[in-house]
Amino acid sequence: MTTQTNRQWRLAQRPQGPVSDENFDLVEEAVSEARDGQALVRVHYLSMDPTIRGWMQHDTYLPKIEEGAVIRGLGVGEVVASNSDRYTVGDLVSGLTGWQEYVIADSGRNRLQVLPAGTDPLDAVGLFGPTGLAAYFGLLDVGRPAEGETVLVSGAAGATGSVAGQIARIKGCRVVGTAGSDDKCAMVVDEYGFDACINYRSEDLRGRVREACPDGIDVFFDNVGGDILEVALNNLALHARVVICGAISQYDGTPPHGPRNYMQLVVRRARMEGFLVFDHTSRYPDAIADLARWAAEGAIRHRVDVVEGIEQVPAAFQRLFTGDNVGKNAVRLV
Amino acid sequence: MTTQTNRQWRLAQRPQGPVSDENFDLVEEAVSEARDGQALVRVHYLSMDPTIRGWMQHDTYLPKIEEGAVIRGLGVGEVVASNSDRYTVGDLVSGLTGWQEYVIADSGRNRLQVLPAGTDPLDAVGLFGPTGLAAYFGLLDVGRPAEGETVLVSGAAGATGSVAGQIARIKGCRVVGTAGSDDKCAMVVDEYGFDACINYRSEDLRGRVREACPDGIDVFFDNVGGDILEVALNNLALHARVVICGAISQYDGTPPHGPRNYMQLVVRRARMEGFLVFDHTSRYPDAIADLARWAAEGAIRHRVDVVEGIEQVPAAFQRLFTGDNVGKNAVRLV
């Protein structure tokens, strides 16, 4: 085992503008040995998440990634050697594995979560991973939709937006999405059951949001930021909730665009609130139980867009920002 | 009575940029007679409020003021004739009197609030008026400060900010203000008892906020918008509350400046929320009782900056935006 190599993607150069291949270096090193209290994990899937773009550039809710360090990222893997009571060989684990083939887990800073036996690793990356859980906690805890309310979701074809909208539908809301192509919009309506979906690239966003949400927006679940945030703010219902989950339109390093009409929060007595899924770890089991039940009942559908091979990681990651992926974006390593 | 004249300020021209004398027309008309169900009110004080700037330009939480109409505004007056069960001659009343010397009150759309006997009309404009009540409901209901937390108040020398900060102090918070001159800052600290006040014109706002709020800002009560909102967002404590009360720096008609760093709401799991004092009318009596008790105990001090004469109204109103007034800005008509 220790003679094997561990391929890793490291931060070569901090991005200023859009992410490109120059920001990443593929490095090989020997696989580490699991010392006392540690386990060695073989990573099976890496989760491609827009928030990593922020980590590459500056301090956010986590310190920025150091230049030369392995890219911080979520993954799912299997324990292949263990000198820890916490991990048993064969356990499926998830957490911040980093963009690499092997990782050392311990019970401290490098702790990974042991998943229940029988978990599908793709579910662990997707529906039960941080994007699915962000949809769950963001919509239910922050958005608090009530039956009959109107929920607008930006990035509705994405890993988080598609799940957020489907949960809103389960809660009896009218659900409208936005996405970047007619194919995505068709999927959002036909497969995810949204009441309507607006192609923000080809349609009149302002007019279509007004038309699709005639009584105003009670909950806006935002993954995108920029124009759609301003349009949504201009169409809020009284006492609306704006759930700030992401701002993928603003992650290219250019000076971000703040919502010029934020005073609509006063006009509509509304709130705009951010959250992080990592604050809710103690409730993950309940959330996963709900999501699993809804998925089993067919009330939630979920797509994982899998690319094969660690060499493909930078390209897969860049597709998050071009709108070319559909659903959850993941890379399969084994 | 009916042969007397009623001088009124009307909207001559909708402002695009900063408000100027050209936006207003002083018109005289005969005083109306109180018909069945109506009362005639002689207006004593007009309350100068920044929100009127918004009403002059566009629809907000109220429809915009029509060109040629009397400027909508809050006032306090005395009932001088009544054909209504609701009003008795001698009653002190407050509400949307408009910028005029006389107004007809009824029990419908033109209803005014009858104030308890013995109310000081200046208190009715100031501490117990919409600015004082905005401080009360905004800070306590939206900001929900806890003992030991840090509260930052922009526009701390103003009618709302000074009261918001003093209530925060009563609740056991560390209170920091911002104001536009050294004299105002001295007043904020010495008279209103804030722990610190930052002169945003002469000091390094970014550095001083960080220094004065070393554990981060738990509640930001914003009357100003623009730079201070961005600086505050960059210094939020976890789970902070940003109370959007006003944005006086953004009311000059130029394209407003949205907070480019609103994603700090995610980083800090914080919320930004707007409110309107008019939503809380049923709780005004409780709020006024609290404010009156605190004022009687000396825990809240309040200044009203009174200008004499209806001719002075446009000038008094414009002083709101130049930072030349201190405390509540009002015009005395009688």
Instruction: State the ipTM, two decimals.
Output: 0.91
The pLDDT value given to residue B253? 66
For residue B278, what is the nearest residue in chain A, using CA coordinates? A269
Among residues of chain B, what percentage have pLDDT more than 90?
A: 90
Q: Do A256 and B255 touch (CB under 8 A)?
A: no
Does the structure show a pLDDT above 80 at A1? Answer: no
Closest CA–CA distance from residue B279 to any residue of chain A (Å): 9
Q: How far is CA B10 from CA A213, B19, B314, in A?
A: 37, 14, 11
The pLDDT value given to residue A2? 46
Mean pLDDT, chain B, whole residue set: 95
Please name the residues in contact with A178: beta carbons below 8 A apart, sequence gap of 6 or more.
A152, A153, A154, A155, A156, A197, A198, A199, A200, A205, A209, A224, A228
pLDDT tier at A253 (50, 70, 90 boundaries)?
low
**Cβ under 8 Å to A: B residues 274-303:** 274-276, 279
The pLDDT value given to residue B252? 73
Helices A159-170 and A284-296 pack at an angle, to 10 degrees, of 80
pLDDT tier at B255 (50, 70, 90 boundaries)?
confident
A257 in B contact zone (CB under 8 Å): yes
Residues in chain B within 8 Å Cβ distance of A260: 255-258
B249 in A contact zone (CB under 8 Å): no
Please name the residues in contact with B315: beta carbons below 8 A apart, sequence gap of 6 or more.
B21, B307
Residues in chain B within 8 Å Cβ distance of A60: 266-267
Backbone phi, then psi, for B292, in 5-degree steps? Answer: -65, -40
Does the structure show a pLDDT above 80 at B185? Answer: yes
Give residue limits of the domains in chain A.
Answer: 5-126+302-332, 130-277
- What's the mean pLDDT in B190-216? 97
**Residue of A225, A262, A266 lying closest to B275 (CB–CB):** A266
B188 in A contact zone (CB under 8 Å): no
The pLDDT value given to residue A44? 97
Which tokens in the block code for residue B16?
Answer: 């695009």
Please name the residues in contact with B207: beta carbons below 8 A apart, sequence gap of 6 or more.
none
Torsion of CA A208, A210, A211, A215, to 10 degrees: 150
Superfamily name with CATH number, domain B130-278: NAD(P)-binding Rossmann-like Domain (3.40.50.720)
CATH 3.40.50.720 corresponds to the domain A130-277 = yes
Half-sphere exposure of B225 (CA within 13 A, CB side): 24
- What's the mean pLDDT in B320-329? 86
Tell me which DSSP letter residue B256 carries. P
Residues in chain B within 8 Å Cβ distance of A266: 60-61, 244-246, 274-276
d(CA A323, CA A318): 9
Q: Identify the weakest region by mean pLDDT among A37-51, A231-245, B63-77, B318-332.
A: B318-332
pLDDT tens, A295-318?
999 999 999 999 999 999 999 999
Does the structure show a pLDDT above 70 at B149? Answer: yes
B269 in A contact zone (CB under 8 Å): yes
- What's the mean pLDDT in A153-173? 97
The pLDDT value given to residue B244? 98
The pLDDT value given to residue B2? 46
Among residues of chain A, what percentage have pLDDT more than 70?
A: 99
For residue A262, what is the nearest residue in chain B, using CA coordinates? B258
Closest CA–CA distance from residue A57 to any residue of chain B (Å): 14
Are residues B126 and B302 in contact, defined by beta-carbon separation less than 8 angstroms?
A: yes
The pLDDT value given to residue A225? 95
Fold exhibited by the domain B5-126+303-332: Quinone Oxidoreductase; Chain A, domain 1 (3.90.180)
A256 in B contact zone (CB under 8 Å): yes
SS3 A219: strand
Are residues B156 and B131 in contact, defined by beta-carbon separation less than 8 angstroms?
A: no
Backbone phi, then psi, for A267, in 5-degree steps? Answer: -55, -40
The pLDDT value given to residue B327? 86
The pLDDT value given to residue B3? 64
The residue count of chain A comes to 334
B168 in A contact zone (CB under 8 Å): no
Residues in chain A within 8 Å Cβ distance of B257: 258, 260
Q: Do B61 and A266 touch (CB under 8 A)?
A: yes
- Cα of first residue to Cα of last residue in chain A, in angstroms, is 16
The pLDDT value given to residue B1? 46
- What's the mean pLDDT in B97-121? 94
A269 in B contact zone (CB under 8 Å): yes
pLDDT tier at A78 (50, 70, 90 boundaries)?
very high
Mutation target for B interface from A272, A276, A279, A281: give the one with most B CBs within 10 A: A272
Tell me which DSSP letter residue B320 carries. H
For residue B58, what is the nearest residue in chain A, using CA coordinates? A267
Cα torsion B260, B265, B268, B271: sign: positive
B262 in A contact zone (CB under 8 Å): yes
The pLDDT value given to residue B231? 98
A260 in B contact zone (CB under 8 Å): yes
The pLDDT value given to residue B250? 84
- What's the mean pLDDT in B143-155? 98
**H or E segment to which residue A45 belongs:** strand A39-47
Q: Provide the greatest CA pair distance for chain B.
A: 65
**H or E segment to which residue B93 belongs:** strand B92-95
A273 in B contact zone (CB under 8 Å): yes
**Residue of A257, A258, A272 lying closest to B271 (CB–CB):** A272
Which tokens in the block code for residue A207?
Answer: 């007019």
Q: Do B266 and A61 touch (CB under 8 A)?
A: yes
Does the structure show a pLDDT above 80 at B115? Answer: yes
Q: Do A244 and B262 touch (CB under 8 A)?
A: yes
Among residues of chain B, what percentage have pLDDT more than 70?
A: 99
The pLDDT value given to residue A3? 64
- What's the mean pLDDT in B226-249? 96
For residue A58, what is the nearest residue in chain B, using CA coordinates? B267
For residue B247, what is the nearest residue in chain A, using CA coordinates? A263
Q: Pick from A166, A156, A159, A167: which is nearest to A126 by CA?
A: A159
Please name the residues in contact with A74: beta carbons below 8 A apart, sequence gap of 6 or more.
A46, A47, A49, A94, A95, A96, A97, A125, A129, A130
Fold exhibited by the domain A5-126+302-332: Quinone Oxidoreductase; Chain A, domain 1 (3.90.180)
- What's the mean pLDDT in B76-96? 97
A248 in B contact zone (CB under 8 Å): no
**Residue of A267, A269, A274 lying closest to B269 (CB–CB):** A274
Which stretches of B213-283 are DSSP H helices?
227-233, 264-267
pLDDT tier at B292 (50, 70, 90 boundaries)?
very high
The pLDDT value given to residue B325? 79
- What's the mean pLDDT in B38-53? 96
Which tokens in the block code for residue B151?
Answer: 């509260």
